[in-house]
Amino acid sequence: MGKQGKLSEEEMRFAKARFFRYYSRAEIDPPPRVALREWGFFLFGGDRMHRPVTFDGRESMKDYLFRKVPRHAYYSTAYYRNPGMPMESPEKGWMGADLIFDLDADGLPGADKLSYEEQLEAVKKEIIRLYDVFLQEHLGFSDDEMSLVFSGGRGYHIHIRSPSVLDMNSDERRQIMDYVAGNFQEFSEVFPKKRVPGRGTVKEVPLLPTEEGGWRGMVREEAALLISTFQMLGREGSVELMKDVGVRRDVGARIYERLLEGERYRSMMKTGDLSIFKSDAELNAFFKVLEAEIREKYAVHPDVHVTPDIRRLIRLPGSLHGGTGFLVREISRDELDDFTPTRDAIPSIYEDEALIGVEAENPVKISISGQEYRLKGRQKVPEAVAVFLILSGRASLSGKL
């Protein structure tokens, strides 16, 4: 949170002057119940967060931003009777907290191999799944209860302020996080069980889920789609598909035969009976293929530390991100589909007619405000580009051109 990149004194003055220009003009709305929240700030030139800070309303918050010109601005997701008291004080009086989800490129598998813009696009796909599928469709939160925010860096936040979440403890919030992330001990947990008599014993056998919502509904839907894919690909293509997710060719061939020969899949889809698979190896391989397909389609990787934290600080929408110079921008769900941070989160205060000299030691490729830049060595760039490159550590300020 608020990790500071190394800036020279000149670079710090340069960036702070642009932030001052922004905060002297910006009209930023505080979050609801502002006086019950704790605030924290990283200032230019400092590595320590200034907290707890409190405000009695919009004007006192605006005055602080104008006077202090923070590099990073945060407020608590929690509400307190006395937010200015130290965290360990019993008089602080926790009163509840918003439910927060934080999706960032740090949590994406293989993100280190993606460019900054590719990371942003990958995270956007996940935040759409989280919002549309899990929070809205599965859990029933409405647009009015959810606030969607671009973090200004490499991800998005969702703030849920429904009364139904206010009093949730950390364990309850963690359960919701585990649900949306599909954090099962075993994927087979998704499948309902039935008890059947064995030789002198009773055992539990899994069933394909029948019509119902949630993960079980998605499993059933994906099973139907997988069978359609097998029909389209044929035996060899289906075996190759299963081989790509780690299923041996001989096991994959048997799965194909169990499902497609005599159209036995019809009975399985109707009754949920998985006994067409004659061994645990076949059944577990079928689970493995289904899981791989579902994970690819519904992957969501929330920050595991944020959602369960009932005392978390989160970035202030309308503030500037100290690692990019971009806006921490609240957006509607309708805006999200076409939202491009490197175009739509650029503050209007940058004076791009005045070109700034920068020096990039390593090659940099970035698109800002719809214009692509390829940099190496010394070059003059618009102010918005210079702020991003300097704050993100991709280039240094240079007056020698």
Total number of domains constituting the chain:
3
Whether 3 is in a domain gets the answer: no
Both 244 and 363 in one domain: the answer is: no
Active site residue 104: yes
Do residues 261 and 376 share a domain? Answer: no
- What pLDDT, on a 0 to 100 scale, did the predictor assign at position 199? 67
Do 195 and 260 fall within a single domain? yes
Give the span between the Cα atoms of 272 and 263, in whole angstroms. 14
Same domain for 131 and 52: yes
Same domain, 163 and 130: yes
H or E element at residue 51: strand 50-53
- Of the residues 56, 63, 104, 250, only one is catalytic, namely 104
Last residue of a domain, one of 238, 263, 298: 298
Task: Note whether residue 2 is domain-resident.
Answer: no
| Claim to verify: residue 18 and residue 133 sit in the same structural domain | yes
Rounded to an integer, what distance in angstroms lies between the CA atom of residue 128 and that of residue 22? Answer: 30
Determine the structural domain holding residue 219 and report its residue range: 188-298
In terms of domains, do 261 and 121 share one? no
Distance CA 379, CA 401 (A): 7
* Residue 211, domain CATH: 1.10.8
Contact (Cβ atoms closer than 8 angstroms) between residue 306 and residue 312:
yes
| CB neighbours of residue 151 within 10 Å | 23
Domain shared by 101 and 175, yes or no = yes
Per residue of the chain (401 residues), what is the pLDDT tens digit? 444 458 999 999 999 999 999 999 999 999 999 999 999 999 998 889 999 999 999 999 999 999 999 999 999 999 999 999 999 999 999 999 999 999 999 889 899 899 999 999 999 999 999 999 999 999 999 999 999 999 999 999 999 999 999 999 999 999 999 999 999 878 888 999 888 776 667 778 899 998 778 999 999 999 999 999 999 999 999 999 999 999 999 999 999 999 999 999 999 999 999 999 999 999 999 999 999 999 999 999 999 999 999 999 999 999 999 999 999 999 999 999 999 999 999 999 998 787 999 999 999 999 999 999 999 999 999 999 999 999 999 999 986 54
Q: Cα angle vertex 295, ends 289, 300, to 5°?
A: 170
Grouping H, G, I as helix, E, B as strand and the rest as coil, residue 18 is helix
What pLDDT score was predicted for residue 401? 47
What pTM, to 2 d.p., does this model score?
0.91
- 269 and 323 housed in the same domain: no
| CA gap 325, 312 in Å, rounded | 23
Q: Which residue, 348, 364, 381, sits at the end of a domain?
A: 348
CATH number of residue 61's parent domain: 3.90.920.10
Is 132 designated active site? Answer: no
**Residue from 56, 63, 98, 102 carrying the catalytic annotation:** 102
Domain annotation covers residue 272: yes
- Between CA 316 and CA 41 the distance in angstroms is 10
- Please tell me whether residues 194 and 324 are part of one structural domain: no
Residues 120 and 215 in one domain: no
Annotated catalytic, 250? no
Residue 4 lies in a domain: no
CATH of the domain at 358: 3.40.5
Q: What pLDDT, on the 0 to 100 scale, is given for residue 205?
A: 85
**How far, in Å, are 2, 37, 59, 129, 251 from residue 55 at the CA level?**
21, 8, 8, 35, 64
Exactly one of 132, 280, 303, 344 is catalytic; name it.
303
Q: Both 199 and 341 in a single domain?
A: no
Beta-carbon-side half-sphere exposure of residue 16 (alpha carbons within 13 Å): 18
Q: What is the largest CA-CA distance in the chain?
A: 87
Residue 193 lies in a domain: yes
Domain boundary among the residues 277, 298, 319 is at 298
